[in-house]
Structure 1
Amino acid sequence: MPDVYAPLRPHRDEFLTLRGLRHHLLRWGAPRPGQAPLVMVHGWMDVGASFQFVIDALREPREVIALDWRGFGLSDTSRADSYWFPDYLADLDALLDHLSPDAAVDLLGHSMGGNVAMSYAGVRPHRVRRLVNLEGFGLPDVSPAAAPERLARWLDELKDPPTLRPYAALADVAERLRRNNPRLPPDKAAWLAGHWARETTDGFVLNADPAHKLANPVLYRKAEVLACWQRIAAPTLWVEGSDDQLARFWGSRYPREDFEARLAQVPRLERSVLPDAGHMLHHDQPAALAARLELFLA
């Protein structure tokens, strides 16, 4: 196992019950007069600790709270057989009721979290002062005609539910992280591995509910998402890495021009591209991202 990254600003753990499920929060800094708290929400198959490197790169300490979504990290799993955006929205709404019931927050989301944050900012525009979306491209629009096949696939998968394979050691988890993202330095991969996985009698297992791998019975409807995006009142910062992950992952199923047309619906938008960064841009270029965030959130 290589040297393990040592955080410059270690987080504090907190557990909070939201909508009947115990959620894990990570906290940095303390409230400052006149400054909105910064709430960060992670992407699919990730954890709140993923933002540690950006927090360490901030020049000025500030209050930051990161959430482990339901079914990820140290938060409880869902009591249902699927996860979808309405539950994430409701969890986020309950979290902000607890953290800042009377004042707007700065809200940042990565990937799936970016999509949840964008929808939330349109549904509750008065709750968000500044909005940041890191590579939250969304999903291809799905035709209603796909519903029968999707539902049948979901029903079939429920009879043989997915599992997450164990790893022999945390070093193997770190190696997987680096295979997914070769830009991730070994010491940071070693640190993240301890948050990504937990030890069981069978080995180290990812801190994620295997049900996330089920086909989702709810179709992604672009028109509904855009109806929310059009109502965003907060200044919004879109940040992506210079490597075009949209084309790499989706290809022709979700062309870039489709996403650009969606992004054009956001009323008060700034854009930024981080060089030498991919989808995990908060791991690839934490200092550059921190500098861009501080400029935008000032």
Structure 2
Amino acid sequence: MPHIYTPRRPHCDEFLTLRGLRHHVLRWGQPRAGEPPLVMVHGWMDVGASFQFVVDALEQDREVIALDWRGFGLSAASGSDSYWFPDYLGDLDALLDALSPDAPVDLLGHSMGGNVAMSYAGVRQARVRRLVNLEGFGMPDVSPAAAPERLARWLDELKDPPSLRPYATLADVAERLRKNNPRLGQDKAAWLAGHWARETPEGFLLNADPAHKLANPMLYRKAEVLACWQRITAPTLWVEGSDDQLTRFWGGRFPREDFEARLALVPGLARAVLQDAGHMLHHDQPEALAAVLEPFLA
């Protein structure tokens, strides 16, 4: 039986109804006068508990809040067979209205969550004091000519919806996590597995709605996304791992030059690269990430 990670700052669980759906919220620390909460939003096929390791690495015992997006973790599924990107912005807006209605927050997003956070900060400038994007690269631009094929694929997948395979034990879930990211230590994987999956009569199933795996019928429109990025007013920190995940994910479909041109449009941008880290940099190098975050957020 592997050793299981012991959090230095255990979280408290809360449930909020946001836009009619029950959402799971994790809280660390207590509010302090004059200091905004740090709100963290996770990536695709992940959970809010994923931020535990970097929260533990923060020297300052500040208030931190993480959300399980709809259809992930312990938050309710959407109730439909599709997930739309604007719904994440709507859920985030409702979350901040509930938690900090009268003051801006510090907002951090990883991967998909980083993309949501960037768009949100450009649309709701007054709601974000500091913005941190952890490897939320976005996606390659898609030509409108691809719409018929994408819609046909979505319609076909609706007739044969995806499923998630069960795992026999939590140890198997932990091993899956380590297969996805070999840098993740056994103790952290063993702890995270209990938040990533739940026990069912069929075995341990990931805490994710299988509908997330459907093709998205809505094309990624780069021009619309960048229109939001250009409106960001909060000081923004871009953080990535030293491993080139952009090339790994997309190859020539999304050249680095394209992404650099996108980042160049973001006003007030600071940048950091964490060595010996990949896409899950908050798992790979939580102490190094905390060391970059705290002076930026101070």
Same fold per superposition (TM over 0.5): yes
Q: Identity rate of aligned residues, in percent? A: 85
Structure 2 counterpart of 1:125 = 125
Separation in structure 1 between the aligned mates of residue 202 and residue 278 of structure 2, nearest angstrom: 33
Structure 1 counterpart of 2:59 = 59
Structure 1 counterpart of 2:88 = 88
**TM-aligned CA deviation for residue 247 of structure 1:** 0.3
Structure 2 counterpart of 1:296 = 296
Structure 2 counterpart of 1:45 = 45
Structure 2 counterpart of 1:185 = 185
**TM-aligned CA deviation for residue 84 of structure 1:** 2.2
Separation in structure 1 between the aligned mates of residue 87 and residue 58 of structure 2, nearest angstrom: 31
Structure 2 counterpart of 1:166 = 166
**TM-aligned CA deviation for residue 81 of structure 1:** 1.8
**TM-aligned CA deviation for residue 80 of structure 1:** 2.1
**TM-aligned CA deviation for residue 85 of structure 1:** 1.4
What are the superposed Cα offsets for residues 99-158 of structure 1, whole Å, 9 maximum, x if unpaired? 111100000000000000000000000100000000000011111111111001000000
- Equivalent residue of 1:49, what SS? helix
Structure 2 counterpart of 1:205 = 205
What are the superposed Cα offsets for residues 6-28 of structure 1, whole Å, 9 maximum, x if unpaired? 10000000000000000000000
Structure 2 counterpart of 1:31 = 31
- Equivalent residue of 1:76, what SS? coil
| Cα RMSD after superposing both structures | 0.5
Could you list the runs of 5+ residues in structure 2 that have no partner in the other structure?
A: none
Separation in structure 2 between the aligned mates of residue 251 and residue 19 of structure 1, nearest angstrom: 37
Aligned residues: 298
- Equivalent residue of 1:91, what SS? helix
Structure 1 counterpart of 2:19 = 19
Separation in structure 1 between the aligned mates of residue 221 and residue 59 of structure 2, nearest angstrom: 40
TM-score, scaled to structure 2: 0.99
What are the superposed Cα offsets for residues 166-210 of structure 1, whole Å, 9 maximum, x if unpaired? 000000000000011000000000000000000000000000000
**TM-aligned CA deviation for residue 46 of structure 1:** 0.2
Separation in structure 1 between the aligned mates of residue 217 and residue 79 of structure 2, nearest angstrom: 16
What are the superposed Cα offsets for residues 229-255 of structure 1, whole Å, 9 maximum, x if unpaired? 000000000000000000011100111
Could you list the runs of 5+ residues in structure 1 that have no partner in the other structure?
A: none
Structure 2 counterpart of 1:101 = 101
**TM-aligned CA deviation for residue 98 of structure 1:** 0.4
**TM-aligned CA deviation for residue 83 of structure 1:** 1.2
